[in-house]
Amino acid sequence: MVEQLRTFAAEVTRVAREVGTEGRLGGQAKVEDVGGTWKELTDNVNTMASNLTSQVRDIADVSKAVAKGDLTQKISVDAKGEILDLKNTINRMVDQLSTFSAEVTRVAREVGTEGKLGGQAEVEDVGGVWKELTDNVNTIASNLTTQ
């Protein structure tokens, strides 16, 4: 029994260190021949590590896609609490970037390629640099229209 407790403690500590401190995802505690509370604790540690691994990897995959210009990817992993907030924030960001990109492309095509003057980018619910960029695109399009 003492050896099982020692193994349990070592495995839980290893997984906590790998996943929680070192950022090495995917670790699972391996404790054999335990039952009851010890098995339940081991299973809970493994479930936590597995959930965190899935969530972080999905967030990373979407972030990498956005960095490469792919705005079609969304975070789809089940999440709760602060991870859900992060998921929703990143998905909203992807939506806003996609809308912004589509609007700037549309205005540039209309004004620059098709010769349609008066086009304006319409991007709702953006602020900061995205609003500034939208305003600048609209100013350029407006200046071209009035010339």
The two tokens of residue 73 are 């990817």
Helix axes 81-108, 128-146, angle to 10 degrees: 10
pTM: 0.78
Which residue intervals of the chain are DSSP H helices?
Answer: 2-15, 36-67, 81-108, 128-146
**Contact call for residues 110 and 116 (beta carbons, < 8 A):** yes
- pLDDT bracket for residue 8 (50, 70, 90): confident
* Segment 74-110, tens digit of pLDDT: 999 999 999 999 999 999 999 989 988 888 888 888 8
Task: Give domain limits for the chain.
Answer: 1-78, 82-147
What is the pLDDT at residue 122? Answer: 81
The two tokens of residue 124 are 């709702």
**Does 32 score more than 90 pLDDT?**
no
